[in-house]
Amino acid sequence: MCSEKKKNRDTIAELLHGLRNKAFITGSEAVAEAVKRANVDMAIAYPITPQSESMHLVGELFAKGHIKDYYRAENEFAVMAAVHGAALGGGRVFTATSGPGTLRAMEMFPVWAGARQPIVCAFMCRGVSLPPSIQPENIEMGMLLDTGMLMLHAENGQDFFDMILQAYLVAEQPDVHLPVGVFADGFFVTHTREEMLLPPEDCCLPPYDPGFAPVPVFDMETPPMRITRDPLLNKSNFISGNANASWHQEVLAAAERARKHIAHFMGGLLEVENPGAKIFIAASGTAVSQSREALRMMQAEGMDVGLIKIKSIRPFPGSELSKALEAADLVVVPEFNAGGWLAREIRATIDRNHRVIGAPRVFGGMTMPPWLIVEEVKKALGAGQSRGGC
């Protein structure tokens, strides 16, 4: 249980940079361990595979006194609406969902952002289409890109643990104050047991202070109707339209201001391995792990290949990518979805975007063997040579 803050104790520095102990746990257990140290006021759950276990474990934290309040709501939309209400009341909140649950709750995500609430939600990504699939796939991330949420993508269980805590630190900055989605590829991360490093259990985030929020907390002196209805809906369409447009711009600006906080708490929006390479693999989430092995295989053959791990999807590291890929001849983007949303983001960001190859893409629960990535790189290089250059 989080202890009272001791004098002169910098718990944030301890959480991020202090001594840690080894633990052999799953990604779902890592979620619970992060929530245990996040000083959460309220968590609300609704089960859906592969998220169910994580919120079950969060419920056990409530039973042990680590969380002030917890309950199971009627459905995913009810969860996200209730979490929103708890955040409006000044609480630090947490929830999680997956795939079809994400889509059922979709209306609430831009509401969170528009209300400037620092809600943290874990998304354990899975298939959403017919025929039904509960298997790993992150197509839902492509559907959430323009909701106003900040979006972080975890490679493994260690990332999942760290990013949940880092998400609160970024979200609650007064010049940000936006919701953060922390995404992990279901089963690959949630149900895989691996060695992780965890800070002591009594090392927790300081309590959330809504007094620093850029929007007022709803209470008896600041009733919801005064903020959410009167200024917009009861006025002319002109006033309503201008108010909505200017506020939307502020939400986007707040996401841009989050960049410096992500850099501070997470060490940057991306990581680059072998920055001088002419060939790069650019990936996020579990595809990074597969890419690491593909990188090792190609380097063993004498190929000069680099890797870019994209940690932040929103805000997107556009300038960082452009700089890292300035001298690159080829960028291969492997993804666990059919749509190729990450490749599209990269193509829209860098110049000479013919260099971007959006492949391989696997989905519906398929695995991504490293040789599949190697094959795409060699195929692209062969095509480039036949054209007289890549």
Report d(CA 84, CA 286) in Å as an integer. Answer: 29
- pLDDT-derived band at 349 (thresholds 50, 70, 90) equals very high
Pairing of strands 356-357, 312-314: unpaired
pLDDT, tens digit, 9 for 90 and up, residues 21-72: 999 999 999 999 999 999 999 999 999 999 999 999 999 999 999 999 999 9
pLDDT, tens digit, 9 for 90 and up, residues 245-296: 787 899 999 999 999 999 999 999 999 999 999 999 999 999 999 999 999 9
In the predicted model, what is the mean pLDDT of the chain?
Answer: 92
Q: Cα 282 vs. chain centroid, distance in angstroms?
A: 17
Asked whether 78 and 46 are in contact (CB, 8 A), the reply is yes
Report d(CA 103, CA 190) in Å as an integer. Answer: 20
Helix (H, G, I), strand (E, B) or coil at 265: helix
Residue 64 host element (H or E): none
pLDDT given for residue 246 in this prediction: 80
**Which domains does the chain carry?**
9-212 (3.40.50.970), 270-384 (3.40.50.920)
